[in-house]
A and B are shown apart, each in its own frame.
Chain A
Amino acid sequence: MTIQEELKTAADATRREVEAQVDTGAALEATRARAIGIRRRPDGRVLLTVAASVVLIAGLATFALLRDDDVVRTGPTATQPPTTVTTGPPTSSPSSTTIQAPVPTVAPTVAPTAATGDDLVTAPADLRIDFDGAADRRVGEVLDPSEVTPHVDSGCGYWPTEPGDVDQLHGLVEGAGTSSPRITDVRIDSSRYRTVSGVGVGTRLATLQRIYGDLVVDRADGWDSPTGGLLASYLDVAAIRSGDRAITFVLRDDVVSTVKVGAAEFWGDDEGCV
């Protein structure tokens, strides 16, 4: 028996089994009820706007109330030991205005966009993104098996083995479970890594379009037609390609959030290990 015949037999069995088990009438009613739910479901943007308005109004009200006490409290909690900045002439008077500034708990990450207003940033050569990879990680590079987590037994796997911080490069391998797994793509979540043009995490879509004349942009709608070779997209993505390689820019609010370097065959918002 060939594989095609086995699949046909299995498909016939599945069809028979499903037809014998499903209650089409009940499913139809459930689907209609669900459709009504879809119609009544408010637009997510409306909900977001309403929620933002409520938060804003609550914030203003709180601000106004606290202001009556001549104390502005900011920061995560009112009980947190504050850093106190006293304004006005030094005085021990309890009625002086006190601003309790928040204590930063996390060191700011590299954010050139926010710092300079420019989304193109020159990075040193050892943090360079190109069509072959990023920094010292190259597509096709053979990794030590200990750096790889195989996914089931499909040959696909993830590197590195442990989740890293945002500055850590990561991606997929082929040959996972063997003695010589090879990197199939390199993914960059940090704004430290940049292309020679200065593009990286934090770059705006408009800038990408200005720099790359052949940029392909594919908007997520769940079931759109492929655009320029992208198989499908469930996130907003933009990509450029050179030969058999592609650099994909995953976008959030039209700003690059992740960069991926890999084979053009798998560009776009791919499946990962499946």
Chain B
Amino acid sequence: MTDTRTFEAIFKVEYAGMVALGSWLTGDRASAEDLTQEAFARAHRDWAKVGALDAPGAWVRHVLVNLASNERRRRRREVRAVARLEPPPPAFPEVPPDQHLWAAIADLPFNQRAAIALRYLHDQSADQIAEAIGCRPATARVHLHRAHRTLADRLGVALADDEAGPGDPAGADLRGTGTRDTNTRPTATEERP
């Protein structure tokens, strides 16, 4: 194993980028650092396996996204309880470059937010986004498209025609690429009234 494949080397190259990703996923810098360190700690624990992967950083990114999602789930019940009493505080309390943009991102469903963060912070293709958040590439493209559309509508700005990112097929047709698995046969019809 060369020096560039050591845990320390990967950590130094990837850490800041992972924290940036975590900050978009959680809206909180401290949580982002905590989750990033947790993801790397798990990589360290299993480094014999993770270090042998083609892209250890992708493994860490995948774990980070899931940790952020878990963290969000953990908070969800609290948010529900608070929402019954009063509107929750903004999800992005830190001072971002554009409050309106951040507020809009904060309101996106988690997978859409993750797709946007992975695309713009880590230049990930739809295939890579799909790998990171655990969905099919078509679903990742749908997440991206919906996120773009929602943000553009909310901020009143234009939506560029080119949805394709690095590695995406040019002119990918997003219509009809929902998350449905058309290969699953609908045999459980007995519950249909």
Contact = CB atoms under 8 A, between A and B. Distances in A.
Interface of A: 1-11, 13-15, 18-19, 21-22, 24, 27-28, 30-32, 34-35, 37-39, 128-132, 149-154, 158, 161-163, 195-197, 212-216, 222-226, 228-229, 231-232, 234, 240-244, 247, 264-266, 271-274
Interface residues of B, number: 78
Nearest to A266: B179
A24 B16 CA distance: 7
A34 B120 contact: no
Contacts of A32: 41, 44
Contacts of B160: 2-5
B16 A15 contact: yes
A229 B182 CA distance: 9
Contacts of A196: 190-191
Contacts of B180: 229, 244, 264-265
8 contacts: A11-B121, A13-B96, A28-B11, A152-B107, A162-B84, A195-B191, A241-B184, A274-B110
Interface string B70-102: 101100100110011001100000001110011
A112 B77 CA distance: 29
Contact of A149 (B76, B84, B152): B84
Interface of B: 8, 11-12, 15-17, 19-20, 23-24, 29, 33, 36-38, 40-42, 44-45, 62-63, 65-67, 69-70, 72-73, 76, 79-80, 83-84, 87-88, 96-98, 101-102, 107-111, 116, 119-121, 133-136, 139, 148, 151-152, 155, 157-160, 162, 178-181, 184-193
Contacts of B62: 223
> What secondary structure prevails in chain A residues at the interface with B?
mixed
Given A9-B97, A234-B69, A229 B191 contact: no
A234 to B, nearest CB: 6
Contacts of A243: 186
Given A28-B15, A32-B44, A214-B187, A10 B178 contact: no
A224 B44 CA distance: 19
A271 B80 contact: no
Contacts of A272: 76, 80
A157 B23 CA distance: 25
Nearest to A15: B20
A229 B159 CA distance: 29
Contacts of B102: 10
Contacts of A8: 120
